[in-house]
Amino acid sequence: MVASTGMKQAVIYTGGKQYLVAPGQTVTVERLEGEAGAAVSFDDVRCIVDGAQTVVGKPNVEGAKVLGKVVAQQRSDKVIVEKFKSKKRYHRYGTHRQEQTVVAIEKIA
């Protein structure tokens, strides 16, 4: 459920996840193409909240876009991946760092 804060908000879908965003906010999403400073547009807008008015898409809101700018390309914290089977002398250990993009939300159109 989206709380009514009086400012315009949107729910976008990218990288298999949904994010609640508002203009002026920075959000970390799955890796997107583009260098720092490049413009990015999210066309998969699931919901828009503007004060008391709410528009919900089925599944997307038609004609809606969220515009932003790439701030940085980075990697997440290290996650330990460990596999183990008891009494079988099976043990595997590894690590993983996910590629991420930091995006500054500029406008909900």
38-87 pLDDT, tens digit each: 999 999 999 999 888 899 989 999 999 999 999 999 999 999 999 999 99
The 10s digit of each residue's pLDDT in 37-52 is 999 999 999 999 988 8
* Residue 1 pLDDT greater than 70, yes or no: no
What single DSSP character describes residue 24? T
Query: Please, what is the average pLDDT of the chain?
Result: 92
Give percent helix, percent strand, percent coil of the chain, each to the nearest 5.
0, 60, 40
What single DSSP character describes residue 2? -
Rounded to two decimals, the pTM is 0.82
Spell out the domain ranges in the chain: 8-108
